[in-house]
Amino acid sequence: MRIRFHGAAGEVTGSCHEVEAAGRRLLLDCGLIQGGREDERRNREPFPFDPAKIDAVVLSHAHLDHCGRLPLLVQQGFDGPIWTHRATADLLRVMLEDAARLAEADAERAARRRAQGRGVDEDDLTPLFTLSDVQAVLRLVRGLEYRVATTLFPGLVVTLRDAGHILGSASVELVDTSGPAPKTLVYSGDLGPKGTPILRDAEIPPKADLVLLESTYGDRAHRQQAATVDELGRLFHDAWRDGGNVVIPAFAVGRSQELLYWFARHYDDWGLSRWHIFLDSPMAIRVIEAYDRHTDLFDEEARGVWAGKSHPFRLRNLHLCVDQAQSMAINQIRSGAIIIAGSGMCNGGRVRHHLRHQLPYERNHVLFVGYQAQGTLGRRLVDGAPWVRILGYDITVRAQRHTVGGLSAHADQPALARWYAGIGGRTPVVLVHGEEAPRAALSSLLQREYGAHVASAKRDLVRDL
């Protein structure tokens, strides 16, 4: 078995790991590179392999940094099966179709700017991929269940285990039985923290000969959940006192639904009945429908909530905004609005329009509840930028900014270490999906506490097993 690392190697986006085993070539994930404009231009570069020679893809989950280049892979010759959990297959349609619509809309805006005589980069005139490319991907998707060993090809067996990150997220256990002794590769995917709302906790595979382990938060421990809940309550009370609005950039898959779950649980003690709550994300609204189709994957507490009166997606003052006119009307409201909108890192989607209108006023609050990658608008705001450029406008930032780390959908350093230790032995590990400082900290811990042999993935690094 041979592994080559093509993405999420020294960064947290663009997951893509190539595996040669049993005479076949597979990809673990094929994700979009996210960040600033220069980072995102890399998505248009040719793959470092021939897509037509890849036999299959095993997809860990439906976030774009893990699935977003699949349309390009198919566009360039891949026509094998894409294996993933059935809930991920459901969400994949939502994610990729939305990304294609945004790409096509951006290309149309660029064409209008060129027609007005304004400077436009040639790449901006062509969408990265289209809805027809997405349909070609969806025809190749094959759904799997957790904990069911499936033969992909003779001598190659895959088992998915719940990763507790988002609905349908999986760790991948890949076993090559074609040689004199079986070899097991475990890819963590993105692991969720213990006690994530709605979802079950991450499972630990029973054994491995090599582990590819995410390291997004490899250098820190998250706040306790109870402290985070208390902080959110204070923030909403303070925001009401200040007489403004609250903008929450949130990922359409996972974070938006979890926020509404917490809103339902703390509706009275957070004083939420006095607010108008807007979920301004057509994609997140479609994801809600997917959640309702997969309640069998929920933890016991969430199943009880869904069966009761406080259903988080049916709060009496929750407004689901689908069309553009509804979205635009929100920005006429000067106070009393909680606006949950995508994208989670503020680099696209409707949240940019809300930030443009809300950032100049001190009475407003912006609440960051997820990871902000280097180069993104969200990262600049979190880092305290006094002004930002949004949709061609220079915006002075006077709104109050808050980062609430305890809501992360990624496991922290202690949880990553516990998951690794649960596999048993001193399994060699390669750290992926993390920036340099978190990877270095996690590497040091695993070596010190468990005697692990740890390597950090680099682009085009080759590892034999």
Q: What is the pLDDT of residue 197?
A: 85
Q: Which domain holds residue 232?
A: 225-407
What's the whole-model pTM score? Answer: 0.88
Partners of residue 11 on adjacent β-strands: none
Q: What is the pLDDT of residue 90?
A: 95
Distance CA 192, CA 418 (A): 12
Residues 390, 415, single domain; the answer is no
Helix/strand/coil for 446? helix
Residues 262, 372, single domain; the answer is yes
Residues 38, 131, single domain; the answer is yes
Look at residues 407, 439, 455 and tell me which one is the last residue of a structural domain. Answer: 407
Residues 96, 202, single domain; the answer is yes
Residues 124, 261, single domain; the answer is no
Number of domains the chain is built from = 2
Residues 457, 350, single domain; the answer is no
Q: What is the pLDDT of residue 309?
A: 64
At 292-308, the pLDDT tens digits run: 899 999 999 888 877 76
Query: Which amino acid is present at 194?
Result: K
Distance CA 120, CA 274 (A): 45
DSSP letter, residue 199: B
Residue 117's CATH number: 3.60.15.10
Residues 190, 323, single domain; the answer is no
Residue 237's CATH number: 3.40.50.10890
Question: Nearest 5 degrees, angle CA 262-CA 268-CA 269?
Answer: 80
Look at residues 407, 428, 454 and tell me which one is the last residue of a structural domain. Answer: 407
List the structure tokens of 308.
């009761």
DSSP string, 122-184: GGGGS-SS-HHHHHHHHTTEEEE-BT--EEEETTEEEEEEE-SSSTT-EEEEEEE-SSSS-EE
CB 164 within 8 Å of CB 202? yes
Query: Which amino acid is present at 102?
Result: L
Q: What is the pLDDT of residue 220?
A: 92
Q: What are phi and psi of 464, to 5 degrees?
A: -95, 145
Question: 123, 130, 137, 72: which is closest to 105 by C-alpha?
Answer: 130
Residues 372, 427, single domain; the answer is no
Sign of the Cα pseudo-torsion (195, 197, 198, 202, in order) = negative
Residues 250, 267, single domain; the answer is yes
Look at residues 390, 407, 424 and tell me which one is the last residue of a structural domain. Answer: 407
At 331-354, the pLDDT tens digits run: 999 999 999 998 888 888 899 999
Distance CA 428, CA 451 (A): 9
DSSP letter, residue 217: B
Residues 46, 171, single domain; the answer is yes
- Stretches where the chain sits below pLDDT 70 are 308-310
Residues 72, 159, single domain; the answer is yes
Residues 102, 120, single domain; the answer is yes
